[in-house]
Amino acid sequence: MNKPTHPYAIELRGISKRFGAVQANKDINLQVPAGTVHGIIGENGAGKSTLMSIIYGFYEADTGTIEVDGQEVNIRNSQDAIKAGIGMVHQHFMLVENFTVLENVVLGAEGGTILKGGMDAARKELARLEKEYSLDIDVDAVVEDLPVGLQQRVEILKALYRGARILILDEPTGVLTPQEADHLFRILDALKQQGVTVILITHKLREILASTDNVSVMRLGQMVAHRETAKTDKEELAELMVGKKVRLKVLKDEAEPGDVKLAAKNVSYVDSQGVTRLKNINFELRAGEVVGIAGVSGNGQSELLNVLSGITPMSSGEVHMAGEVITPKSPKNAAQMRDLKMGHIPEDRHKMGLVTGFEAYEAAILGYHNDPDYNGKILLNRKAMLNECNERMESWDVRPPNPHLKTANFSGGNQQKIVIAREVEKNPDVLLVGQPTRGVDIGAIENIHEQIIKLRVADKAILLVSVELDEIMALSDRILVMFDGEIVGELPASEADERTLGLMMANAFNEEGASE
Amino acid sequence: MFETLILILDATLRVSTPLILAALAGLFSERAGIVDIGLEGKMLGGAFAAAAAASVFGSAWIGLGFAIIASVGLALVHGFACITHRGDHIVSGVAINTVVAGLTITLGLDWFSMGGQTPALSGDERFFAITLPFADALADVPVIGLIYSELISGHNILVYLAFALVPATYWVVFKTRFGLRLRAVGENPHAVDTAGISVAFIRYRAVIICGVLCGIAGAYLSTAHNAGFLKDMSAGKGYMALAALIFGKWRPVPVMFACLLFGFLDAVAVRMQGVVVPGIGEIPVQAIEVLPYVLTVLLLAGFIGKAVGPKAVGRPYVKERA
């Protein structure tokens, strides 16, 4: 491939960007050496995505300049960025789901008014790119039928097809299994060998250490440090990110499980399309323990949470809780489950945890809105709601501490704090927790983890579903692994490591067993 | 009996033509993510403009031109509201329908003083039937002769145009760069934007095409199918076209067949007027006229499966705030 003509593939000078009152980026300087993998790390809301959106032409910077290969470029929209050789793989894929891989790749670079010619040329070019970067994919497959790992590959191919020499990846491993993530890093390595410069945005320290050459740290809209990856470590980076010492390990005592608080017996769930989502789920959840459910997302974890919390009725089996037996014939809805003292922190705070158009103090009572604490004779007791919301915002460090701000306008971490506070402060016996720290920054993660452990100490029974293995391993006492709607394995947290769990999550043990 | 069938089918083609034009108009608009409940209003506006201009200038072609201009104008209003200002597509569409329904009558009264109608058109002011070559010569050949001379030959140019537009639409939507971008923008405008293409520009072009086709449909109503503009002459055809669009799952050929089915029911309804069915008596015309709608509801409810439209339809495109 072409030798880089300039030591820096991309260089930013004094980039600033303001959204209303929020200074998203302030005087950012960045030099990315050509042909390297450069990590940009920072908490959520540190301004990483804004900065990349500026480079990719989604926003225009208020001040500052961008140089590509030593030439100053004026990037006003995505088209300019593409012309400058910059490609981006967004956190939420920018794919048309019912298009084929080929159609997605050529969109915007069709090569002529009539598709035929351009498509045939694209097919040849893609075959070459796939070979060069070992990116196997069926170009005629419809995107929505592909697993996320492959969809991401389509995004990478899209960028390469447009001749990208600089590839930006925004939180690329958020949706991948450990194995898929490993594969991605091998691809990035191959790209680097071919002279492509990769910018990797993430808040996962492990990925930065494993795959980058250099790393820049952002905090509160500013670049606070640049390091050679080989000369730094997890602790230093974490400290730079949050500006204070953090511990990544959760300190906890041995579990002392008490009575069974929740028991699932042969619980199955068949969805409206007739697909079996849960198959004969059996487990017990005891007071004073955290049971973690590990698994690649989409293997029935969401359905399990929905069935247990009463959102979707199960198809067969029974759930025992607080002396009641819940069966398909005598179901309980979500409100009735709450009355049995079950708390539920849903996986998707936007869709299920909050009404984003509500002000914080309103969202803070959802699901408990009939509670006498919040009600007068006829109307809601706004004063009580506001008081409580103020207290919680203080004790949970929700920023900004403004109960009248719409929940949509809080950052992800602060939204999550509002949801968790709501469920935890009601002192439930059983707490279902789904992806508690998805899109949440390190400072808040620590806080949330501490609260979960506190509940365990207070003899609560906690079921934790998370795609973050670190989190599952740090918090759980026992780990159940789900695959294709079934619990395929169980092991104590003390015996769990990433490799074992990863293999169990991919159901590799059973497949080996079957082939023998 | 055979002759009756041919006559009904012949009527079907004539009744289906405006439906096909309007449904294809809706197809371009909705494929690009713009809900267009204003097909009705654009068609009515086009019909009025066509009849008025044809009457004043004495040419059906000039009438057609004015119909297209009027309809595209209304389409651009819809685009301005929905694309530029991110307004609600339904509200804008209903507003257009209401305004046009009143405006055509008001202008008609002011200009022609004929109770809201336009003067009756004749001669070159209308589109006339075209007799295809050999139609007369073949008329006496059994079966084929009748089909050719009655069913295929003897329509005005707009009928042929409407049917020719079906494969043309298929080709544009599925075989060209514009079509690919059009479909993409209706499914995931973010993907289009990040590919460096203007979402608004594509949507505006789709809306303009929609306007052109609705204009032709309107002109057909007042200067080909009828001989002048009548109050509310679109009579719900825009809504029926929308139903056909859903029924045909936003694909040109199935949409055409849906329009033909609706047209057929309409043609039968006309034939059934005053016919006494043994044991039942005279069937009320309304009972048959309601059939297309009932059929749509029934078929959508159970028989053809879920009609999934373009994913981003009706949603204004807003760049995400990171």
Per-residue pLDDT of A375-394, as tens digits, reads 888 889 999 999 999 999 98
The answer to whether residue A137 scores a pLDDT higher than 80 is: yes
Q: Per the CB < 8 Å rule, is A106 touching B180?
A: yes
**pLDDT for residue B302:** 65
| Best CATH choice for the domain A260-353+427-515 from the list 3.40.140.10, 3.40.50.300, 3.90.320.10, 1.20.120.80 | 3.40.50.300
pLDDT category of residue A512 using cuts at 50, 70 and 90: very low
Contacts of residue A56 in chain B, CB cutoff 8 Å? 194
One-letter amino acid for residue B163 of the chain = F
- How many Å lie between the alpha carbon of B52 and the closest alpha carbon of chain A? 38
The answer to whether residue A241 scores a pLDDT higher than 80 is: no
Contacts of residue A113 in chain B, CB cutoff 8 Å? 176-178
Q: Per the CB < 8 Å rule, is A58 touching B319?
A: yes
Two tokens, residue A51:
């900065």
Report long-range pairs for A171-177 (Cβ below 8 Å, ≥24 apart). Answer: A171/A91, A171/A201, A171/A202, A171/A203, A172/A89, A172/A91, A172/A200, A172/A202, A173/A202, A173/A204, A173/A207, A174/A91, A174/A438, A175/A148, A175/A297, A176/A148, A176/A149, A176/A152, A177/A149, A177/A296, A177/A502, A177/A505, A177/A506
Residue to mutate among A76, A82, A91, A107, with most B CBs inside 10 A, is A107
Q: Per the CB < 8 Å rule, is B196 touching A81?
A: yes
Q: Give yes or no for B231 touching A (CB within 8 A).
A: no
Q: Which residue has the higher pLDDT, A452 or B79?
A: B79
Helix (H) or strand (E) holding B137: helix B135-138
**pLDDT for residue B211:** 97
Average pLDDT in chain A: 87
Q: B119: Cβ–Cβ under 8 A, 6 or more apart, which residues?
A: B55, B112, B228
Contacts of residue B177 in chain A, CB cutoff 8 Å? 110, 112-115, 118
The answer to whether residue A52 scores a pLDDT higher than 80 is: yes
For A78, which of B194, B321, B322 is closest by C-beta distance?
B194
Q: Give yes or no for A58 touching B (CB within 8 A).
A: yes
Contacts of residue B188 in chain A, CB cutoff 8 Å? 94-97
The answer to whether residue A206 scores a pLDDT higher than 90 is: no
Q: Per the CB < 8 Å rule, is A96 touching B188?
A: yes
Instruction: Establish whether domains A8-242 and A260-353+427-515 are of one fold.
Output: yes
> Scanning the structure block, which residue is given the tokens 């450069």?
A38
Residue in chain A nearest B318 by alpha carbon = A58
**pLDDT for residue A327:** 93
Rounded to whole angstroms, how far apart are CA atoms B110 and A340? 72
Q: ipTM, 2 decimals?
A: 0.87
Q: Give yes or no for A338 touching B (CB within 8 A).
A: no
For B187, which of A53, A97, A115 is closest by C-beta distance?
A97
The answer to whether residue A104 scores a pLDDT higher than 70 is: yes
Contacts of residue B321 in chain A, CB cutoff 8 Å? 19
Residue in chain A nearest B195 by alpha carbon = A108
pLDDT category of residue A1 using cuts at 50, 70 and 90: very low
Q: Which residue has the higher pLDDT, A88 or B322?
A: A88
Q: How many Cα neighbours within 13 Å face the side chain of A101? A: 25
Q: Per the CB < 8 Å rule, is A108 touching B179?
A: no
Q: Per the CB < 8 Å rule, is B322 touching A49?
A: yes
Coil, helix or strand at residue A2: coil
**What are the boundaries of each domain within chain A?**
8-242, 260-353+427-515
Give phi and psi for A279, each to the nearest 5.
Answer: -125, 115
Name the CATH topology of A8-242. Rossmann fold (3.40.50)
Contacts of residue A115 in chain B, CB cutoff 8 Å? 175-177, 179-180
Residue in chain A nearest B308 by alpha carbon = A98
**pLDDT for residue A66:** 94
Residue to mutate among B31, B182, B194, with most A CBs inside 10 A, is B194
Q: What is the pLDDT along chain B (322 residues), one digit of tens a residue?
A: 788 888 899 999 999 999 999 999 999 999 999 999 999 999 999 999 999 999 999 999 999 999 999 999 999 999 999 999 999 999 999 999 999 999 999 999 999 988 888 899 988 899 988 888 888 888 788 888 888 888 888 899 999 999 999 999 999 999 999 999 999 999 999 999 988 899 999 999 999 999 999 999 999 999 999 999 999 999 889 999 998 998 888 999 999 999 999 899 888 877 877 777 777 777 777 777 787 778 777 776 766 666 678 888 888 888 754 3
Q: Could you say which residues from 155 to 194 on chain B have a Cβ atom under 8 Å away from some Cβ of chain A? A: 175-181, 183-184, 187-188, 190-194
DSSP state of A114: B
For A114, which of B176, B187, B190 is closest by C-beta distance?
B176
Cβ count within 10 A of residue A496:
20
Two tokens, residue A254:
């041995």
Q: Per the CB < 8 Å rule, is A94 touching B311?
A: no
**pLDDT for residue B12:** 94
Q: A348: Cβ–Cβ under 8 A, 6 or more apart, which residues?
A: A434, A435
Rounded to whole angstroms, how far apart are CA atoms A101 and A155? 9
Do A66 and A73 touch, CB atoms closer than 8 A?
yes
**pLDDT for residue A47:** 85
- How many Å lie between the alpha carbon of B223 and the closest alpha carbon of chain A? 35
Rounded to whole angstroms, how far apart are CA atoms A156 and A136? 12
- How many Å lie between the alpha carbon of B163 and the closest alpha carbon of chain A? 22
Q: Which residue has the higher pLDDT, A513 or A116?
A: A116
Q: Could you say which residues from 21 to 50 on chain A have a Cβ atom under 8 Å away from some Cβ of chain B? A: 24, 49-50
Q: Per the CB < 8 Å rule, is A114 touching B197?
A: no
Q: Per the CB < 8 Å rule, is A94 touching B195?
A: yes
**pLDDT for residue B226:** 92
For B175, which of A53, A90, A116 is closest by C-beta distance?
A116
Q: Which residue has the higher pLDDT, B219 or A448?
A: B219
Rounded to 10 degrees, the C-alpha dihedral A404/A405/A406/A409 comes to -170
Q: Give yes or no for B201 touching A (CB within 8 A).
A: no
pLDDT tens digits, one per residue of B59-118: 999 999 999 999 999 999 999 999 999 999 999 999 999 999 999 999 999 999 888 888
Give the count of Cβ contacts less than 8 A between chain A and B: 77
The answer to whether residue A455 scores a pLDDT higher than 50 is: yes
Q: A102: Cβ–Cβ under 8 A, 6 or more apart, which residues?
A: A119, A122, A123, A126, A139, A140
Q: Per the CB < 8 Å rule, is A107 touching B181?
A: yes
Q: Give yes or no for A97 touching B (CB within 8 A).
A: yes
The answer to whether residue A2 scores a pLDDT higher than 60 is: no
Give phi and psi for A109, each to the nearest 5.
Answer: -140, 55
For B197, which of A49, A99, A108 is closest by C-beta distance?
A108
**pLDDT for residue A234:** 77
pLDDT above 70: percentage of residues in chain A: 94
One-letter amino acid for residue A70 of the chain = G
Q: Per the CB < 8 Å rule, is A107 touching B184?
A: yes
Q: Give yes or no for A113 touching B (CB within 8 A).
A: yes
Rounded to whole angstroms, how far apart are CA atoms B216 and A254? 78
Coil, helix or strand at residue A479: strand
Rounded to whole angstroms, how far apart are CA atoms A164 and A105? 13
Rounded to whole angstroms, how far apart are CA atoms A377 and A389? 21
Tell which residue, A103, A94, A126, A139, has the closest CA to residue B179: A103
Predicted TM-score of the model (pTM):
0.74
Q: Give yes or no for B195 touching A (CB within 8 A).
A: yes
Residue in chain B nearest A75 by alpha carbon = B196
Residue in chain A nearest B171 by alpha carbon = A114
- Region A56-78: mean pLDDT is 90
The answer to whether residue A246 scores a pLDDT higher than 60 is: no
Do B221 and B159 touch, CB atoms closer than 8 A?
no
**From A68-82, A137-151, B280-294, the region with the lowest mean pLDDT:** B280-294
**From A2-16, A22-36, A352-366, A485-499, the region with the lowest mean pLDDT:** A2-16
Q: Give yes or no for A98 touching B (CB within 8 A).
A: yes
Two tokens, residue B143:
């079966």
One-letter amino acid for residue B297 of the chain = V
Rounded to whole angstroms, how far apart are CA atoms B202 and B193? 11
Q: Per the CB < 8 Å rule, is B176 touching A113?
A: yes
Residue in chain A nearest B312 by alpha carbon = A96
Q: Per the CB < 8 Å rule, is A96 touching B183?
A: yes
How far from chain centre, in Å, is Cα A310? 25
**pLDDT for residue A244:** 56
- How many Å lie between the alpha carbon of B269 and the closest alpha carbon of chain A? 39
Q: Could you say which residues from 256 to 315 on chain B have a Cβ atom under 8 Å away from some Cβ of chain A? A: 311
Do A342 and A429 touch, CB atoms closer than 8 A?
yes
Name residue B130's beta-bridge partners: B155
**What are the boundaries of each domain within chain B?**
2-238
**pLDDT for residue B4:** 85
**pLDDT for residue A308:** 95
**pLDDT for residue B187:** 94
Residue to mutate among A23, A90, A96, with most B CBs inside 10 A, is A96
